[in-house]
Amino acid sequence: MRLFLEACCTSVADACEAELHGAQRIELCERLDVGGVTPSETIIREVMRKCRGAKLNVLVRCREGNFVYSEQEVLQMTSDIHTCRSLGVNGVVVGALTKDGHIDKSVMERFMAAARPLSVTFHRAFDECRDPQQALEDIISLGCDRLLTSGHEPDAYQGRFRLARLVGQAADRIIIMPGCGIRAHNIMEIAAMTHAREFHSSAVSQMSELVNHPLQVFA
């Protein structure tokens, strides 16, 4: 059994390379230098045309910066979600916080309504929330399919202990997907510590090595 890898890609070339080397899912975005923003419809269409072997999830984030959105920004992102759904992608990756650092459930409910029946991943806005345990419960209550998180630390290796606690708290109600700094040299230690089954990495050049680690740690 192989690890399930989602590859974070910012171009058609990256997506094709990730798929070639075994990534089972692609998260498509632009401007990874600022944490990622919504890619253009042109890029989404091209990735869907050229990469047919991996599922495609699309980041929906209208700008860099914080995750507290104005009404105009919420409308823009809702429209982007509708576009993704009309294009037939597998899922969207979204997140929103309130000014006091909690999950913005009212905004997320609007995003969820726009997205369904697509798969929905709540992204690393979670890592800026005030209360991770309560935030996880809020995200589960919204019906999100997975949570992308580094465990409230700068990267998933540093966050591996909290990630393990989040996996335990989730109790199979949602997929906890470690991300940020996932590399071939540390993925098995993170997997062993957390018992997570899906992992997110931007290390496209290491995808084959990442994917083909055996899951002997769970035997």
Is cis: bond before 39, omega within 30 of 0? no
The closest alpha carbon to 27, from 208, 203, 200, 184, belongs to: 200
The pLDDT of residue 110 is 98
Contact 148, 200 (CB under 8 A): yes
| Cα dihedral: 188, 218, 15, 142 (round 10) | -110
CB atoms within 10 A of CB 135: 24
For residue 46, give the DSSP letter: H
The pLDDT of residue 3 is 78
Secondary structure (3-state) at 184: coil
The pLDDT of residue 203 is 81
Q: With left for phi above 0 and alpha for psi between -120 and 50, is residue 122 left, alpha or beta? A: beta
Calpha distance 125→127 (Å, rounded): 5
Residue written as token pair 């697509």: 118
pLDDT tens for each residue of 146-196: 999 999 999 999 999 999 999 999 999 999 999 999 999 999 999 999 999
Residue ranges of the chain whose pLDDT lies below 50:
216-219
Q: Which CATH number fits domain 4-218: 3.40.50.1860, 3.20.20.380, 3.40.50.2300, 3.30.565.10?
A: 3.20.20.380
Residue type, 175: I
Calpha distance 208→31 (Å, rounded): 24
CB atoms within 10 A of CB 33: 8
Contact 18, 28 (CB under 8 A): no
Domain residue spans in the chain? 4-218
Average pLDDT, the chain: 93
Calpha distance 198→186 (Å, rounded): 14
